[in-house]
Amino acid sequence: MCGIVGYIGDKQAYPILINGLKRLEYRGYDSAGVSILNKTVKVFKKKGKVSDLDDFASKKDTNGTIGIGHTRWATHGEPNDVNAHPHISMNGHFILIHNGIIENYSRLKEKLTDRGYKFKSETDTEVLANLIEYIYLKGKVTAEIAVRLALSKVVGAYGLAIICKGEPDKLIAARKGSPLVIGVGE
Ligand code: GLU
């Protein structure tokens, strides 16, 4: 069962995300990843342990105060670096991590492919990232509205943490059939 951590605030996000992922390791997983938004989007993903991810990512520039992290339990696509989360939408507007299964992902993928979308991974999650982006660009709506509209088309259970590059002061979370806890504090 996968785990999700998100952070937005005044502190450096990376250590909070990695520590959060370590605390979720007991749930079992096959790969892990984090993304930090700081003007540009940085994504670090690795098959294997959170410590493998940390060895890799801590040598890079992880500066930033908003980010999301994930431990994956693969359901769609083998455990590897590409299929690991976070996933970025094709035009780079959305970064997304997901717990659960998008049951109607192949139909949604077909429709997005017809509209010119290309996919890097085998996951159901990347389909959702691209669906949100498609609605965001086509409908010229806010990120939150795009997420709400996209989720109205999804069949399945999910926990989600989403960042939109154009709205860097926001961390969007959503759930259906999966638990989600939001902490607000100093
Ligand atoms: N279905 C997604 C995948 O295979 C998410 C799996 C999970 O809950 O970790 O990437």
Sequence-distant (6+) residues with CB within 8 A of 150 are 128, 131, 132, 135
8: pLDDT strictly greater than 80: yes
Tokens representing 39 are 């003007």
186: pLDDT strictly greater than 80: no
Q: What local confidence, expressed as pLDDT, does residue 48 receive?
A: 97
1: pLDDT strictly greater than 90: no
Phi, psi for 168 (deg, rounded to 5): -75, 0
How far is residue 183's CA from residue 186's CA, in Å, rounded to a whole number?
10
Q: What is the pLDDT of residues 123-152, one digit of tens each?
A: 999 999 999 999 999 999 999 999 999 999
The residue-averaged pLDDT of 53-82 equals 97
Q: 157: Cβ below 6 Å to ligand 1?
A: no
71: pLDDT strictly greater than 80: yes
Confidence of residue 185 (pLDDT cuts 50, 70, 90): confident
180: pLDDT strictly greater than 90: no
- Return the ligand 1 atom nearest residue 98 CA: 5
Phi, psi for 88 (deg, rounded to 5): -110, 135
Q: 100: Cβ below 6 Å to ligand 1?
A: yes
Residue 66 DSSP SS3: strand
2: pLDDT strictly greater than 90: no
Q: What is the pLDDT of residues 14-61, one digit of tens each?
A: 999 999 999 999 999 999 999 999 989 999 999 999 999 999 999 999
Exposure of 85 in the CB half-sphere (CA atoms within 13 A): 37
Distance of CA 167 to the CA centre of its chain: 15
Phi, psi for 181 (deg, rounded to 5): -120, 130
Which of 98, 104, 120, 162 best tests ligand 1's pocket when mutated (most atoms within 8 Å of CB)?
A: 98
Q: What is the pLDDT of residues 93-132, one digit of tens each?
A: 999 999 999 999 999 999 999 999 999 999 999 999 999 9
Query: In this structure, how many other beta carbons lie within 10 angstroms of the beta carbon of residue 155?
Result: 11
How far is residue 92's CA from residue 164's CA, in Å, rounded to a whole number?
9
Q: What local confidence, expressed as pLDDT, does residue 114 receive?
A: 98
Q: What local confidence, expressed as pLDDT, does residue 17 receive?
A: 97
Cα of 116 vs centre of ligand 1, distance in Å, is 24
The number of residues in the chain equals 186
64: pLDDT strictly greater than 90: yes
Q: 124: Cβ below 6 Å to ligand 1?
A: yes
